[in-house]
Chains A and B, each alone.
Chain A
Amino acid sequence: MSILKHYRTFKGGYKFFNFTGQPQDIIIDLGVPKVIFIPLRQGFGVEVKPVVKVGDQVKTGQIIGRDDENVSSPVHSSISGKVKEIVKKNYFGREVTFIVVEGDGKDELEKLPFSEKNWEKLTEEELETKLYLSGVTSLGPSGIPTRYRSSVIGLKEVENLIIHGLGSEPYNICLKTLLKGKNIFYFIEGLKILKKLLPNAKIYLCLNSEEKRIIEEIGKLTSDIQWLEISLLESKYPQGYDEMLIPIVLGKKFPYGYSAANIGIISLNISAVLHVYEAIVDGKPLIDRIITLSGPCFKENPHIKVRIGTPIGEIVKDYLKSEVKVRLIMNSLMRGYELKDYSLPMDRTYTHIIAIPENTERKLFSFLRLGLHSYSYSSCFLTFNKLEKYPDTNIHGEERPCISCGYCEEVCPVRIIPHLLSKIVVKHLVNEKLMHYGIFNCIECNLCSFVCPSKIPITKYIKEGQEKLIIQGCDRSRCILPYFNLKGLEEYQGIK
């Protein structure tokens, strides 16, 4: 019997308006790309070592990089063909090794070992090995533990597993699309696999309280599962982050600055569970992913199924509007990455490609307009939630001194006073006091910078303050360690 808990919420946060270009309910398969660029560092863990040489013939799904000693997951080739070169490249600010594979168009899939139609017959060790080899283990922000080092904690140490399908970002993957048709059964099957793998864990499923149909369906299907608890949560940003999920779902304090795994909690999203199912039952390693093309600058906003390693330029080229100047942002408008080089490939961690217009237009009396389509935390504009909002990159005003309006404090989900911290940092008064004010609790959700009417980059200043404090020899662990019994600390520090 699963328990449907009523939704709980947290103080602060921000419910985003209805932005134009939400993903539509269709999935398009992009097919097999000609060339792929596979970064050897994807998702959770350290960079793996290449196990192929230039000139080698590889099959789809063949492991081309692995490292069983350190926390990591194997990396696969997502097409079949020949290894063209192994290069180092700058990948979002990090030097990462890439394996370039040129396809031969055959696309032969090399399945994972222990193929067995009925997964329940597999032993736990076999399940673990299969899951590890599939690469699915690196999908969550803290990894799925196996006997091989794929997470900072061991299998038996996991006390809670949180699976969330919340859409709290400005753009979200459509749950309806993801769990369409048979996928919902696969999803529940995936949950059962995870339960077998992590016998000591209690599993929590967090769903968006607005998705009534999905909740009902899952509720019906899981009514005989004892170990599953479903909680309904409000889709308020940044609800989807571990730092918010854990205090709300489990009532535990979060060790800010560390990983959820350090307190024995693993969090995964719904597509990760689907990938677990695919890996175990179909024997298919992690070679593709469903991502969305969202934002007003795409002609359509479908979900697309893409092979990992496909250059992003190739993914978006048929969909991008040509008449406007576009900025591409990966994953999240609030804390994603700006994509400048379209030749970079997508990796496992991607969920969204967002295209918003680069708005440099100056409007006459922009501050006096009614603002039917202006999104704002305050209610200074005449607008309604239902009206579509067009996100753009304009900063909508000049930078001004802080007037202590308190918006940043109201939206802050971790209850610090962002404007106070940023003022202290700007004045160069960085000292221990900042630590008492909770500067290390900041989870960089960027909401304070978003709502600021004076357009002050508050999060940037807070981060600057954190760096200065660390340079001064301030030990951030002092705020955290005495209050928690953390697991796998050394490994975690190794990853960072």
Chain B
Amino acid sequence: MIRKILNLGYQLLEKNKKLKKLKPVLEAVDGFFFGTDKVTTFTPYILDYLDIKRFMATVILALLPSVLASIYFYGIRVILIILVSYIFGGLCEIAFAVIRKKEIEEGFLVTGLIFPLILPPTVPLWVVAVGIVFGVIFGKEVFGGTGRNIFNPALAGRVFITISFPKIMTVDWYQPLVSGWAGFNRFKPDTVTSATPLMLYKSDKILTSFKDLLLGLSPGCIGETFRLGIIIGGIFLVLTRVANWRIPLTYLISVFFLSYFGNLLFPEKFGPPIFQLLTGGLLFGAFFMATDPVTSPFTNSGKLIAGVLLGFLTVIIRTFSGYVEGVMFSILLMNAFTPLIDYLVVERRYKPNNKR
């Protein structure tokens, strides 16, 4: 049946010249449903079953626990936010594909889902739209599309709206719903609080209990609070080899050690290590955003370096800056340094007269 509708679509395109520009859209839908019928023409004659669609679908699968938990905690409105993100981001993507006369690329499926998950639950829908449009256009498309972007598009959008609308983005947070069906049959939570665990610690030195942090019972960004699900999803990603283990591991370890020693030396400034690991967007960032293969270094030693530096930056920003949350900025900063790290590592490895 889908085949018939698609064929009808192709016929329409044949007849109508103005519509012809929309061909990439139809082709993308076609490829999405039916895969490909192309065959190899030169060596190797067999190819791996993994394609980019499956690659991205695996990331989405790993994000599912967070998505479900966020609906549970923050109501059906979360679905609306995700939809807005997908629709507006998708429109941008289609527009660029049509202008460039290229295929639509699947990387967007992940960006469009990660972006809403790192927003505060109180975010107005129009801000979501503005953020994703900015992220897709200025985070990705201006660099030439998937695979060429320097910055993680979701983070670029997030930083843009954080800076543009600081009041909306940092002041109000919902207290997550927990009893009974909670968010599954409510539109949104009623209780508004003004403090996430990190803010509480910064202002009043209050440590939220680890159980609340792990299960997501404390306020925070939509998809960042259910940390147990994030850890499960992250380990799944690492096991399927979609995400490389090097960045999350070194990132978390360096945050742990830096805050451990910081806490020993200046207990009034640095938060204790486990608390640091379990608060804010650290786990989500380490597993889902710092591991983005396009914007992280491709060399193995580069990955280790980036992980350590990320941890360093995160703890520094959290401790000494006005922002309580450092993950977003540190990943974005590290994205900017990625080409440099790669260049240095490659140059060192292939130094002339330094034969392996």
Contact = CB atoms under 8 A, between A and B. Distances in A.
To the question of whether A and B form a pair in one complex, the answer is yes
Interface of A: 170, 253, 327, 329, 333-336, 338, 356, 358-368, 371, 374-381, 391-398, 400-407, 409, 415, 417, 419-420, 436-438, 444, 446-447, 449-455, 457, 459-460, 483
A338 B106 CA distance: 32
B50 interface: yes
Contact of A395 (B33, B36, B43, B241): B36
Contacts, number: 190
Nearest to B146: A401
A380 B45 contact: no
B48 A396 contact: yes
Given A362-B36, A417-B298, A420-B346, A449 B103 contact: no
Given A397-B51, A403-B293, A437 B350 contact: yes
Interface string B39-59: 110111111111111110110
A361 B36 CA distance: 8
A454 B52 CA distance: 6
Indicate the member of A374, A393, A401, A403 with the most B CB atoms within 10 Å. A403
Contacts of A450: 44, 46-48
Nearest to A459: B43
B240 A378 contact: yes
Given A379-B241, A417-B298, A420-B346, A391 B46 contact: yes
A401 B145 contact: yes
Given A364-B2, A364-B33, A378 B242 contact: yes
Contact of A333 (B34, B46, B242, B351): B46
B164 interface: no
Nearest to B52: A400
7 contacts: A361-B37, A375-B48, A375-B49, A400-B146, A420-B298, A452-B47, A453-B54
Contacts of A417: 298-299, 346
Interface residues on B, range: 35 or more
B261 to A, nearest CB: 32
A378 B52 contact: no
A368 B352 contact: no
Contacts of B54: 367, 380-381, 397, 453
A449 B42 CA distance: 11
A396 B47 contact: yes
A259 B173 CA distance: 69
Contacts of A459: 43-44
B38 interface: yes
B38 A394 contact: yes
Given A380-B50, A437-B346, A335 B298 contact: no
A249 B36 CA distance: 43
Contacts of B57: 367-368
Given A334-B43, A403-B55, A403-B147, 6 more contacts: A333-B46, A374-B49, A378-B240, A378-B241, A381-B49, A397-B53
Interface in B305-356: 346, 350-352, 355-356
A16 B99 CA distance: 42
B33 A365 contact: yes
B119 to A, nearest CB: 25
Contacts of B33: 364-365
B292 to A, nearest CB: 9
A393 B39 contact: yes
Given A363-B34, A380-B58, A394-B39, A338 B45 contact: yes
A444 B42 CA distance: 12
Interface in B48-83: 48-55, 57-58
B172 interface: no
A404 B300 CA distance: 12
B294 interface: yes
A216 B55 CA distance: 44
A376 B51 CA distance: 10
Nearest to A327: B45
B122 interface: no
Interface string B98-117: 00000101110000000000
A404 B355 contact: no
B205 interface: no
A449 B346 contact: no
A261 B341 CA distance: 40
Given A419-B298, A449-B47, A450-B46, A394 B37 contact: yes
A251 to B, nearest CB: 14
A333 B351 CA distance: 35
B48 A398 contact: no
A401 B148 contact: yes
Contacts of A335: 43-44
Interface string B244-285: 100000000000000000000000000000000000000000
Contacts of A329: 45
Nearest to A457: B42
B48 A377 contact: yes
B341 to A, nearest CB: 13
Nearest to A444: B43
B43 A336 contact: yes
A378 B298 contact: no
A266 B315 CA distance: 58
Contact of A403 (B52, B239, B240): B52
B356 A401 contact: no
Nearest to A360: B37
Which of B40, B48, B148, B239 has the most chain A CB atoms closer than 10 A to its own CB? B48
B166 interface: no
Nearest to B103: A398
Contacts of A391: 46
Contacts of A375: 46, 48-49
A356 B40 CA distance: 12
